[in-house]
Chain A
Amino acid sequence: MKHSFLDQYSDRDSLIHRLDPRTKLLTSLLFILAVVLTPPGRWPVFALYFILVAALLILSRVPLLYVLKRSLVIMPFVVLIAVFIPFFKEGEIAGSYNIWLWQLSVTYNGLQVFWNILAKAWLSILSLILLTSTTRFSQLLKGMEKLRLPGVMTMILSFMYRYIFVLVDEVMRMKQARDSRNFGGGRLRQLGTIGNMIGTLFIRSYERGERVYAAMMARGFDGQTRTLESLSFRPPDALFGLSLGFILILAMVLNLWYL
């Protein structure tokens, strides 16, 4: 099986790829925070955010079509939740429909909030895609560890990352075995089969965990993981952080100015 479904394109090289993962994590968080804090209807500010994230995506040399496709996968869920807003917000009525017994009316105010939520969600997703497709997961973990994520969690996460590939392979083989034996029957039968597959997977994973631990003990594991690569905060990081901070402050000022 090809395992490029996780952090794809993160092994490429560009200005953005070379930044310290801490810089990227913190600026992504700041960016999303700024986006979420922006009040509805500030379209020039949203345009500024979009230009910013688009420029960074172009700089990162990640295929744009891939980013677009990836970002649209999450949107249906957002639409599903936000779709009720236009009908429930009070305000000037933009249109009204009679459906069977109900009278539904859409307000301008509601529509604006709806588009606003869609824009916020999309911009946030774009920035997350930028983060993960320019940073290897191991680097990201290292950055999170330096930013005080508890050691146990980074270790669990790195083991998880290491074994996802093994277990996903296992799942693929089980799926193939299931399908070649004509996976059919009623709903209940199907659920039973999936239950058995997950149960088998659990027992195999548990036994693998025991073996891995024994192997690590045999090699002198003392609860610490040591790696050769270390992170360094360099001038480009400072420059990147400062300029992004400046743009976000500009956006905030623009927000106030529009009030």
Chain B
Amino acid sequence: MHIPDGLLNVATVATTYVVSAGGVGGAVRIVNKKLGEKQVPLMGILAAFIFAAQMLNFPIAGGTSGHFLGAALAAILLGPWAAVLIMSCVLIAQCLIFQDGGLLALGANIFNMGLVASFSAYYIYRLFTWLMGSTRKGTLAGGFAAAWASVFLASVFCAVELAVSGTSPFGVVVPAMAGVHALIGIIEGLITTAVLSLVLATRADLLQLQRI
């Protein structure tokens, strides 16, 4: 889902850069106010954690493989603004170190996999725990739904950006991306649920962290 350079037109690049810069700027302000510089090492290590977790590939049909996105997990554990910051750092590093996602497309990638994924995941998770209570069942169901939605929505936004840029026709790229990622989202959901159930079993206190 990392968009490389050359696929987006300048209008889309400019719009997504402005929106992402605003979002990340807001995240920096809020994290600074609520945490000070206190938890910076922790967030750095968690960004490295997302990065390392993304290295665990699993096979999908036909020789391709997928990997964990992690935005939902970060948002559930630390809150949406912290997740936005962590995901942005992961995406910047992936762009600069692995050329995974372009430099001009960075705004779009941060928008899709940072802002959209984190916020949708966080509020869907909250909705589930509010409806079902903060029980084990509520947490796991919420985690699954949040992770699925984060991947699905991020891919829809990614497809819309590509279509608006004239890179691929709307009627092809949106259903194709959404369809594929509806399946990948199930895998993301299953992994997130497994992670959450492990954390619940071993260090349940980590699910009660201050969320920002």
Binding site for B on A (CB under 8 A): 6-7, 28-29, 32-33, 35-37, 70-71, 73-74, 77-78, 81-82, 84-85, 88, 113, 117-125, 128-129, 131-132, 137, 140, 150, 152-153, 155-164, 166-168, 170-171, 175, 188, 190-192, 194-203, 205-206, 208-210, 212-213, 216, 223-224
Separation of A25 and B109 alpha carbons in the complex (Å): 19
Closest to A193 in B: B194
- For B73, list chain A residues within 8 Å (CB): 198, 202
Name the A residues within 8 Å of B169 (CB-CB): 84-85, 88
- Distance of A167 Cα from B47 Cα, bound (Å): 11
Task: Known A-B contacts: A35-B6, A125-B99, A159-B40. Give 19 more (CB < 8 A).
Answer: A6-B97, A74-B100, A84-B168, A117-B167, A124-B5, A128-B99, A153-B24, A156-B85, A156-B89, A159-B48, A191-B58, A191-B194, A194-B191, A199-B195, A202-B73, A203-B198, A205-B46, A206-B42, A210-B42
A118, closest chain B residue (CB): B6
Q: How far is the CA of A195 from the CA of B10 in the complex (A)?
A: 39
Interface size classification for chain B = 35 or more
Q: Can you sample 13 A-B contacts with CB below 8 Å?
A: A29-B104, A120-B6, A124-B6, A125-B99, A128-B96, A153-B89, A157-B92, A159-B45, A198-B53, A206-B203, A209-B41, A213-B41, A223-B36
A137 to B95, CA, bound (A): 12
**Pair A206/B28 contact, Cβ less than 8 Å:** no
- B99–A163 CB distance below 8 A: no
Judged by a CB distance under 8 angstroms, whether B134 is at the interface is no
Decide: A159 near B4, CB < 8 A? Known: A152-B32, A198-B195.
no
- Rounded to whole angstroms, the CA-CA distance of A158 and B96 in the bound complex is 13
The reply to whether A32 and B5 form a contact with Cβ atoms under 8 Å apart is yes
CB contacts under 8 Å to A, within B33-49, are 36-49
Report yes or no: A163 in contact with B44, Cβ–Cβ below 8 A: yes
Do most interface residues of chain A lie in helix, strand or loop, or is the interface mixed? helix
| B88 contacts chain A at the CB level, 8 A cutoff | yes
Minimum CB–CB distance for B158 against chain A, Å: 10
**Known A120-B5, A160-B93, A202-B49: A212·B41 in contact at CB below 8 Å:** yes
A216 and B41 within 8 A (CB): yes
Complex Cα–Cα for A224 and B96 (A)? 24
**A131 CA to B102 CA, complexed, in Å:** 12
Please indicate the chain B residues that have their CB under 8 angstroms from the CB of A188 in the complex: 190
Q: Does B18 contact A (CB under 8 A)?
A: no
Check if A209 sits within 8 Å of B89, measured CB to CB.
no
Inter-subunit contact A209/B42 (CB<8 Å)? yes
In the bound complex, CA of A119 to CA of B36 (Å):
45
- CB-CB under 8 A from A212, the residues of chain B are 41-42, 45
4 closest A-B pairs (Cβ-Cβ)? A195-B194, A159-B44, A120-B6, A223-B37
Closest chain-B Cβ to A49's Cβ sits at a distance in Å of: 12
- B125 on interface, CB distance cutoff 8 Å: no
